[in-house]
Amino acid sequence: MKIWLLLPLMAVFAGALIPVQAAANASLSKSLGSVVYAALFLFIVGLAFVASFVAANRLPMPALSTFLNAPAYSYIGGLIVGTYVLSITYLAPKMGVGNAICFIVTGQIIAAVVIDHFALMGSASSPLNLQRFGGVVLMITGLFLARSN
């Protein structure tokens, strides 16, 4: 399969997993009676999954200096994913998976445009122009039309 087709398909697949994750997180939270313990257990499962992947593929550990030389901002991803998991686990049962994802994707689109426009955190520069702005407005409008009342 051509890479130009494979990468977007992978992205769509990963995106499709987000509402599934939200529903599963909400279900676990209800079962456990705790958003925090549901999130903690999800991270334990995630750690086990990634560690198994590393072991199965015999991936070598990067040198400690490699970790130390990474930009400090590159480590905030762990805090962000923790915030996301706690948030979606709390929000999905309260407002519905579709509505929660609608607002989350709106935040993602806005943040992505800002990051691209200013080439933040080493990203490629993609300045906001009228066409991109129109596309963002259409995407966000579509999200709000698709959300449930």
Per-residue pLDDT tens for 105-119? 989 999 999 999 999
CA 65, distance to chain mean position in Å, is 28
Determine what percent of the chain is predicted with pLDDT higher than 90.
81
Same domain, yes or no: 111 and 82: no
pLDDT band of residue 39 (cuts 50, 70, 90) is: very high
Same domain, yes or no: 1 and 46: yes
Same domain, yes or no: 10 and 79: yes
What domain count does the chain have?
2
Question: Structural domain of residue 80, as residue ranges?
Answer: 1-95
Same domain, yes or no: 101 and 81: no
Mean pLDDT of the chain: 93
With beta carbons less than 8 A apart as the criterion, state whether 102 and 144 touch: yes
Its pTM stands at 0.83
